[in-house]
Every structure is written in structure tokens, then in C-alpha cells.
Amino acid sequence: METKILTVNPENPELHIINEASAYIKKGELVAFPTETVYGLGADAFNSAAVLKIFAAKGRPQDNPLIIHIARHEDIYKVAAKVDSRAQRLIEKFWPGPLTLVLPRRAEVPEVVSAGLPTVAVRLPDHPVAVMLIEAAKTPIAAPSANRSGRPSPTSPEHVLEDLSGKIAAVLAGGSCRIGVESTVLDLTVEPPVILRPGGITPEMLAEVLGEVRHFSPQDLKAPKAPGMKYPHYAPKAPLYLIKAPDIGDSARNYLSQGKKVGLLVSYETREKYLKAFKGKLLTLGSQSNPSELLHNLYDKLREFDRMDVEIILAETYPEEGLYLALMNRLKKAAAGKFIS
């Protein structure tokens, strides 16, 4: 299959291009499209055969549920059987935006979308291209990230094509994604609500609306209710290890002394120190004082290491609070929990 590249203005999408992309969705094909978080790989959420193509293209296990994207607030009632007052308050505050809600699933939603669970994950993206595509397709769109399963998520059309060229019908190429990591996922089928995946909406922001919220813990995992809970994710090709910032130089030199080709992922604040003492490949993620910048750059930098001749990647760690919580979640997943102390 040849993947068609449909270049679109991300701020003022051309209707004829959106209509061309939506025609693929209506025919049961897959289209990658930009959101404010990452690029999604979309199919008609009510077409089981089309949804199965997502799993095949990505190499994604079918017990890993998908998120349904909608174009209007009221469309939530097409996929969710119950929308309680907590959900209403969150929708009013954070939609459109990077918040996914896990709610009871309507029977009309195919089981394959939710991995056979009685729940459904749904969000309203904050991106003109995404919203126009959903509206033009006249159906909610099921869409995980548009990458091969386990790889760093795509934040540009180039990333999508690296992983999925020839496996999907089209890419709506609308530039880079504003946030750069996936949405926060909040389970509202339990009390107190549980954050299944941290993202751009922080626990503090949720607590302002709901009061108590709880963080997901491994003992909660029976069947994953949201993407990113069970399987390895976000990993570059070389193994990645997390190290406390003061120790990263010594660890790098230790690996270099063994003849390893080492890459470092550091912040602006520590970059100069490592430039003077380290002869390996070094990439700067952003400023420690700007977690939004760190998040925005993360997947692009991990993919940049893939194009370098490195055998091991060492990355700094950050405090697990606020937006840094989402950053550390992705780094720990990319490292498969590997720390060097």
C-alpha cells in the first residue's frame, strides 16, 4: 500500500484536503492525523474491521484498548453509557484538551475498541485538523498514537512515515504537535477517580475540580483500561537508562571506558558540564525550569538517537510532580524501569 501524504494547514485546514482524508475513514481505511498531543492513527470507531487494521499496522496487542476521539461535547453520548456530574465538570473545564475520560461503554461501541472491557476511553482533541476530520468522517474516530507499538510516539508527519509508511492509507501532515506527549487518562468508573496515565492535565489540576484523585499503582492492573499501562512503550532502539543528574557523567565515562558508544539526554542547565567532560553523543531536551519544553521535545530526541550510532542512552531524571510526572512516566517506560544508581 502506498501511503498518501496530504499536507494541510494546521491552523486553517483546507476543507478539500480534510474531505479527501475523511473519505479514507469512511471506506474503512487508516489515516494518521495531528492532535495537540501526538499524531493519532485513526479509524471509524464503529467499524470493527477498520479498527482491527490499527492493531495490525502498529503490531499492537489486541488487549491494549484504544481512545475514541470526538468532535463535539455532546458526541460523548454516542460512546459512553453514563456521563456523571464528575465527568460533566471535567468536560466543562478541560475539553477540548489533553484529557481522556474512562467511562462505561455503550453497547454500540465494538468490543475490539475497548479490548472487551465494559469501559470506553474518550476525549475531544484541541486541534483544528483533528476536529474537522472527525466532523467530515461523520463518526467518532478510534486512534492510538501513529507509531509502531513500543516505539516513541510521533509528534511530526516524518515520525509517522518512519514507522508506518506503506502500512496505512494516508497521513494528514499538519506540522509538529504542540504538547508532544499523550493525554492524561482518568478512570471515572471508580471512586476516587484514578489517573491511569499522566499527561498535560496534571493531578493538581484534576484535584481542583474533583477533590481527591488517586494515582494508578501496579496492583490495580488486572486488565488495562487505557493505553500505556501494560506493555513497553516509547522506547528508542538503543537501551535507555535513567540516572540521577550528578552521577550521569561518571556513568557515561564508565561505559565509554568499556568501548560503548554512549548517548546522553540532558537539560540546558547541565549541558555545558557534560560537553567539557564527555566525548559521546549529547542531546539537549530543554530547560529544567520549563517542563512543557521538556515534554514537547522528548519523543523527537529519542528518535534522533535512533539516527545516531549509539549503543546505550543515559538520561537525567526529574521530580515526579506536576508536568514532570508525565515526563518521568514516559522516561521510565522508555527505559523499561532501568535505573543506574
Tell me whether residue 21 is exposed, middle or buried, using C-beta atoms within 10 angstroms of its C-beta: 0 to 12, 13 to 18, 19 or more.
buried
Q: Is the distance from CB of 285 to CB of 305 less than 8 angstroms?
A: no
Known binding-site positions = 37, 60, 64, 69, 119, 123, 143, 145, 153, 183, 197, 234
Known binding-site positions for ATP = 60, 64, 119, 145, 153, 197, 234
Known binding-site positions for L-threonine = 37, 69, 123, 143, 183
Q: Is the distance from CB of 81 to CB of 87 less than 8 angstroms?
A: no
Collapsing DSSP states into helix, strand and coil, what is residue 158? helix
Alpha helices, H only, 138-245: 157-164, 203-210
Instruction: Provide the grid cell at 339.
Output: 535505573
Between CA 45 and CA 57 the distance in angstroms is 16
Between CA 188 and CA 183 the distance in angstroms is 15
What is the per-residue DSSP string for 49-112?
HHHHHHHHHHT--TTS--EEE-SSGGGGGGTBS---HHHHHHHHHH-SSSEEEEEEBPTTS-GG
CA-wise closest residue to 175 among 6, 317, 328: 6
- Pairing label, strands 67-69, 119-123: parallel
